[in-house]
Amino acid sequence: MDPNLDDELVQDYLAECREHLATIEQDLLAIEQGGADIDEHLVNQVFRAAHSIKGGAGFFDLTKIRELAHKTENALDLIRSRQMIPTPEVVSILLMAFDKLRELIGDYGRSNEAEIDDFVSALTALTSASLPADQRDSLDEQVEMQLPEPDKHIQTSAFDLSQARRGGKCIYLIQYDLIHDVQRLGKTPLEVFKVLIQSGTILETVFDLGSAGTLDEEPSNRLVLEVLYATVLEPDLIGQVVDVPPERVRLVEKNGESRPLSSPPAKRKLRARKAKAPVDLPTPQPAPKLAPAPREVVLKPSTPLTVSAAETTIRLNVSLLDSLMTLAGELVLGRNQLNESLSRTDERGIRSGAQRVSLVTSELQEVVTQTRMQPVGGLFAKFSRLVRDLARDLGKEVFLKTEGNEVEIDKTILEGLGDPLTHMVT
């Protein structure tokens, strides 16, 4: 396991992810209920949760978690912009993707080797299927950009480019000389790429193969790689992650022109290869009446739906913690009194000391028991998903009503109740 995955920061991140994931399921089910009439607040909430899971994963180099979170974020973005209706099919795929994310986060140390292709392609199919036909074309459509060297071009998907722009990102065309900008600075290409991926997206790269020469020639001292890069970093900050002289970093503007960061605007044109290739995506259109069903999406749930997952951490009311602290203090006082009376063989002192300790002990027991009490609502919450999935599988309409969510039960009993209740419900 990567050594940097062990520190406190990661643990904080993972705890945060678990918190997000705990509420996402309920929120998604509510979004499904709402159908085309979306509750923006709710969708934004899930979107932000996916976004922060993605952000942290990027930071800690958890590439698979990042990729999957990114795909869910894309799908949620389409729901948010009303380009995709959260039909049961859509929500099912999102739920399963989040299940998978939960599994990856549970075993984060090995998550980078995990297999997530099914989920990624299902989510991609979802995004492409929900786009209107003319925009769907833009998924395959390529735009071509002139590179600083004459007659050299870089091609990228029009969709990726416009999605990046819509996300408020800046697009840069960076010319790396892998010898001078990387090797001479004591870095390896892999390190450089990792830094780039942490702060943005590499849309496309073009290697100038000719610059490497052949085996018969002297080793080349120049190795040119052009990188088309999308990031939220503004031109004044891009230098933080891109260690290349500013005249070789070009900002690609909305109209397709690009200019080096260190000199006045130049006339480089971004030209569409196909006549109709738009550089910017058409503005979002209202969602079609019926979102087409995603094609060929076969997903198996990543984890069996059980409610018995024993958790290692629980949330505790601060006032309970305070009273535990006070009681512990009183226990120490009682013990001291008892010790002193014993050394003086003061029978009255011993008796009152024992009484004090006994009182505090009972109270302590009571408060400790309270810390284990958890609202039963947490257990019930898992049934909404269970019932929804069952109802869909069996093609029946099921209405689930739960009462008494606020009643508190001991954690052990709660855990024990999970399986039998699930069994009864199914």
**Residue numbers of the site for another protein (CB under 8 A)?**
112-113, 178-179, 182-183, 188-190, 193, 202, 204-207, 209-210, 212-217, 219-220, 223, 225
Supply the minimum distance, in Å, between the C-beta of residue 397 and another protein. Answer: 47
For the four alpha carbons of 253, 256, 259 and 260, in that order, the dihedral sign comes to: positive
- The full length of the chain comes to 426
Tell me whether residue 16 or residue 61 sits nearer to another protein (CB atom).
61
The set of long-range contacts for 183-187, using a CB threshold of 8 Å and a minimum separation of 24, is 185/243, 187/243
Supply the minimum distance, in Å, between the C-beta of residue 63 and another protein. Answer: 8
Question: Smallest Cα–Cα separation from 2: which of 53, 54, 68, 57?
Answer: 57
Supply the minimum distance, in Å, between the C-beta of residue 194 and another protein. Answer: 9
Tell me whether residue 13 or residue 229 sits nearer to another protein (CB atom).
229
Tell me whether residue 178 or residue 338 sits nearer to another protein (CB atom).
178
Tell me whether residue 34 or residue 213 sits nearer to another protein (CB atom).
213
Tell me whether residue 23 or residue 207 sits nearer to another protein (CB atom).
207
Distances (CA, A) of 392 to 21, 76, 249, 389, 397: 22, 22, 52, 5, 8
Supply the minimum distance, in Å, between the C-beta of residue 155 and another protein. Answer: 10
Contacts of 305 (CB under 8 A, 6+ apart): 385, 386, 389, 422
Supply the minimum distance, in Å, between the C-beta of residue 115 and another protein. Answer: 13
Burial class of 349 by CB neighbour count within 10 A (0 to 12, 13 to 18, 19+) = middle
Number of other CB atoms surrounding residue 180 within 10 Å: 14
Tell me whether residue 63 or residue 352 sits nearer to another protein (CB atom).
63
Cβ–Cβ under 8 Å, residues 201 and 63: no
> Distance between CA 113 and CA 108 in Å, rounded?
10
Radius of gyration of the chain (CA): 29
Tokens of 78: 């389409």
Supply the minimum distance, in Å, between the C-beta of residue 214 and another protein. Answer: 4
